[in-house]
Amino acid sequence: MAEQHKATKSPHVLLFPFPSQGHINPLIQFAKRLISKGVKTTLITTIYISKTSPSSNTSITVEPISDGFDDGGYMSAGSDEAYLEKFQQVGSKSLADLIRKLDSEGNPVDAIVYDSFVTWALDVAMEFGITGGCFFTQACAVNNIYYHAYKGLVDIPPVATVSVPELPLLQPWETPSFVHNPGPYPSWAHIVFNQFSNIHQARWVFSNTFYKLEEEVIEWMRKMWPLMVVGPTVPSMYLDKRLEDDQDYDMSLLKSNHIECMKWLNNKPKGSVVYVSFGSYGELGPEQMEEVALGLNESGVDFLWVVRETEKEKLPKGFVANGLVVSWCRQLEVLAHDAVGCFVTHCGFNSTLETISLGVPVVAMPQWTDQPTNGKCLEEIWGVGVRVKANEKGIVTRGNLVSCVKEIMEGERGVLARKNASKWRELAIQAVSEGGSSDEDINEFVSQLKA
């Protein structure tokens, strides 16, 4: 029966991201690549997200499941622990119900590609005899460190420099925050280390990176798991341009000030603007917010700064920006704009891949989770920017920020960073173009589905 189904229908893959913006975007983009190669895809999201942030892409079928918080989502859970526990409990049942529903409609599932944060999805798939693939949304370098911590080969927290295969020595503060300071967020620390709990049962392991970017670590990981590298998962029109309708991620949990941003940027000289964003989850303390605000004003450069509505109350009293402050923007369009000459970033991996893919140099200002390691890679391994150092209180002072911004915008480090950023952009385009390393790995996955 299964053979007959495969012979007469396109293979059907469920894609199951963790329900946050930085995890949804990569799997949406992976879905578009699979659809372009004749694979039917269904994106799983939560009932709350499907109601509040529906996808604008009609080619991707979206099926909502319950995370136990259908009316308020993650923010209504009360705590990280409460959300993650109920998500697993309710989500497992809801996912099983969806698989049965699709089967009853004559649309059986051939494989599930699940976010590495939801390992329990593989357990559900296996109950139905469905093969599964684990999808890492973070850098291979970061997952390398997490794996060694999970196996007890890296101390938590580290007492000295950290050594893992195919990476330079890391100072403790250059490891992910869940390694060097796991105390404040024990539930998330458990999630990131537990990604490897059943990975040996996955038929495929996917990573949102590209081969040339992390070649040595990828080769090491391939000795461990059946790794397929399928990134960068950036909309095609910013890279290879093979998917002509692929210009955005098509599902945003935040509303952007797009017209205002573009109008403002259009009136600025080429390479003159510093774009500043700390992501969809980043939260700066009031003291840090003040240092950034005053530093940007003192820098004398034009700046576009994303400050989410929930963060605006932390701006210094009486602060009047010498640049444009918006609550959200379409980051890819901003990075692609000729006026932008530098990105002050929290170093989330999606932002990291976007700035590399668009060839924009960075001032790295990592905050937590994987960001400290991404910041080290951006500066020391990929050579596309500088890291701004924090003081003994963990605060980046305005003077340090101004110095780094001027170094990238006006100094020799900036010249080299722009040159390296352009090189990585070309390699990213090659990876996803026809016959490139990521394209070939996606083709291999599709051929295995159809076999």
Active site residues per annotation = 23, 115
Classify strands 385-387 and 61-65 as parallel, antiparallel or unpaired.
unpaired
Alpha helices in 60-172 (DSSP H): 80-104, 120-127, 140-150
Please count the CA atoms within 13 angstroms of the CA of 234 that sit on its side-chain side: 31
DSSP string across 365-392: ---STTHHHHHHIIIIIS-SEEEPPP-T
For residue 36, CA distances in Å to 30, 44, 57, 63, 293 come to: 10, 19, 13, 20, 44
- Cβ–Cβ contacts within 10 Å for residue 254, how many? 13
Quick one: 80 exposed, middle or buried, by C-beta within 10 A (0-12, 13-18, 19+)? middle
Structure-block tokens of residue 89 = 């409990």
What's the sign of the alpha-carbon dihedral 201, 203, 209, 210? positive
Contact at 8 Å (CB) between 317 and 249? no
Eight-class DSSP state of 435: T
Amino acid, res. 371: Q
> Which helix (DSSP H) or strand (DSSP E) does residue 268 occupy?
none
For residue 422, CA distances in Å to 357, 360, 403 come to: 8, 8, 23
Residue written as token pair 């379409």: 330
Give the span between the Cα atoms of 450 and 39, in whole angstroms: 9
Structure-block tokens of residue 8 = 């007469």
Backbone dihedral angles phi then psi of residue 15, each to the nearest 5 degrees: -115, 125
Buried b (16+ CB within 10 A) or exposed e, 108-125: bbbbbbbbbbbbbbbbbb
For residue 248, CA distances in Å to 25, 56, 411 come to: 9, 10, 33
Give the span between the Cα atoms of 208 and 141, in whole angstroms: 12
Give the span between the Cα atoms of 31 and 57, in whole angstroms: 11
Structure-block tokens of residue 170 = 């890391």
Give the span between the Cα atoms of 320 and 393, in whole angstroms: 26
CA 424 to chain CA centroid, nearest Å: 18
